[in-house]
Structure 1
Amino acid sequence: MYAHASSPRRRRRLAIATLVALTAAVLPATAQAAPNVSAGTLSTSTGSGHQQKPRVILTTDGEVDDMDSFIRYLYYANEFDTAGIVLTSSRFHWAGDGDTVKPYRWTGTKWVNDYIDRYAKIYPNLRKHAAGYPSPDNLRSLYKIGNIANVSDTADPTAGSDLIKKAILDNKPGPLYVQAWGGLNTVARALKSIEAEYSGTKKWDAIQRKVNSKLVLYNILEQDATLKDYIKPSWPGVKVIDNQSQFWSFAYAWKPTVPQPYQYTLRSSYMQDNFLNGHGPLLKQYRTYRDGNPTPGDDENLRWRPEASEENENAGYDVHDFISEGDSPAFLHLLDFNGLRSSEDPTFGGWGGRFTPNASGWGDTSDANPYTGNQTDRSYPQTRWVEDIQNDFAARADWGHASSYADANHAPKASVMQGTNLKAEPGSKVALRGIASDPDGDRVSYKWWQYTDADTYPGEVPLNHTDRPNVAFTVPADATPGSTIHLILEVKDDGSPALKHYQRVVVTVTG
Structure 2
Amino acid sequence: MRRLRRCLLATALAVTLPLGLSAPAQAHGRSSDKPRIIVTQDGEVDDMDSFIRLLYYANEFDLAGIVYSSSRYHWAGDGGTVAPYRWTGTAWVNQYIDLYAKLYPNLRKHADGYPTPAKLRSLYKIGNVSNVSEMTQVTEGSEWIRKKILDDDPGPLYVQAWGGLNTTARALKSIQEQYEGTASWPRLQRRISQKVVIYNILNQDATLDGYIKPNWPDLKIIDNQSQFWSFAYLWTRQVPADYQYALKAPYMEKNFLTGHGKLLEQYRTYRDGKPTPGDEENNRWRPDENTAYAVHDFISEGDSPAYMYLFDFNGLRSSENPTYGGWGGRFAPNATGWIDTTDVNTFTGVADRAFPQTRWVADLQNDFAARADWGVTPRYRDANHNPRASVREGLDLSARPGQVVKLHGRGTDPDGDKLSYRWWQYTDADTYPGAVTLSDGATASFTVPADAVRGQTIHLVFEVTDGGTPALKHYQRVIVTVK
Could you say if the C-alpha distance between residues 317 and 437 of structure 1 is closer, same or farther in structure 2, counting changes exceeding 3 Å? same
Distance in 1 (CA, whole Å) between partners of 2:4 and 2:64 is: 26
Is the 8 Å Cα contact of residues 89 and 152 (structure 1) preserved in structure 2? yes
Corresponding residue of 2:306: 330
1:384-403 alignment, distance < 5 Å:
384-403=359-378
Higher RCO (CA 8 Å, separation ≥ 6 residues): 1
Within 5 Å, give how 1:351-362 maps onto structure 2.
351-362=327-338
Q: Distance in 2 between matches of 1:507 and 1:39?
A: 18
**CA-CA distance at 1:352 after TM superposition:** 0.2
Q: Check 1:367–1:44 CA distance in 2 against 1; reply closer, same or farther (3 A cut).
A: farther
**1:39 Cα deviation from its structure 2 partner:** 6.9
Per-residue CA deviations over 1:433-492 (Å, capped at 9, x if unaligned) read 00110000000010000000000000001112x2x1110111111101110000000000
Counterpart of 1:15 in structure 2 is none
| SS across alignment from 1:123 | helix
Partner Cα distance (1:492, 1:381) in 2: 20
Q: Report the Cα distance in structure 2 between the residues aligned to 1:415 and 1:175, rounded to whole angstroms.
A: 27
- Report what 1:64 is aligned to: 45
Q: What amino acid is aligned across from residue 457 of structure 2 in structure 1?
A: T
Select which of 411, 420, 445 maps to 1:436. 411
Alignment of 1:414 with 2:389, yes or no, is: yes
The equivalent residue for 2:321 is 345
Q: Distance in 1 between matches of 2:162 and 2:179?
A: 28
Paired position in structure 1 for 2:355? 380
Structure 2 partner of 1:297: 278
Question: Following TM superposition, by how much is the alpha carbon of 1:94 offset from its aligned partner in structure 2, in angstroms?
Answer: 0.2
Distance 1:332 1:299, change over 3 A: same
Q: Which residue of 2 aligns with 1:214?
A: 195
How far residue 370 of structure 1 moved from its aligned partner, in angstroms, is: 1.5
Match of 2:78 among 64, 83, 97: 97
The aligned residue for residue 508 of structure 1 is: 481
SS of corresponding position for 2:260: coil
Could you list the runs of 5+ residues in structure 1 that have no partner in the other structure? Answer: 1-35, 309-313
Q: 1:179 to 1:262 in 2, by over 3 A?
A: same
1:244 to 225, 228, 231: 225
Could you list the structure 1 runs, at least 4 aligned residues long, displaced by more than 6 angstroms after superposition.
39-46
Q: Does the CA contact (< 8 Å) of 2:39 and 2:65 recur in 1?
A: yes
CA RMSD in angstroms, aligned pairs only: 1.4
The equivalent of 1:124 in structure 2 is: 105
- Say whether the 8 Å CA contact 2:193–2:216 is kept in structure 1: yes
SS at match of 1:370: coil
**Structure 2 counterparts to residues 13-52 of structure 1, below 5 A:** 38=3, 52=33
Q: Assess, with a 3 A threshold, how the Cα gap between structure 1 residues 39 and 184 changes in structure 2: closer, same or farther.
A: closer
| Equivalent position to 2:269, from 272, 288, 305 | 288
**Deviation digits for residues 32-76 of structure 1, max 9, x if unmatched?**
xxxx86478778999xxx961000000000000000000000000
Judge conservation of contact 1:444–1:493 (CA < 8 Å) in 2.
yes
Runs (5+) with no aligned partner, structure 2: 11-25
Where in structure 2 are the equivalents of 1:140-219 lying within 5 Å?
A: 140-219=121-200
Aligned partners of 2:223 and 2:300: how far apart in 1?
Answer: 19
How far is the alpha carbon of 1:173 from its aligned partner?
A: 3.2
Q: Give, as a single letter, the amino acid of the residue that structure 1 aligns with 2:309.
A: H
Give the C-alpha shift of residue 174 in structure 1.
Answer: 2.7
* TM-score normalised per structure 2: 0.94
1:366 alignment partner in structure 2: 342
SS of 2:237's equivalent in the other structure is coil
Equivalent residue number for residue 85 of structure 1: 66
Answer yes or no: is the 8 Å Cα contact 1:416–1:503 preserved in 2. Answer: yes
Sequence identity (%): 67
TM-score (norm 1): 0.89
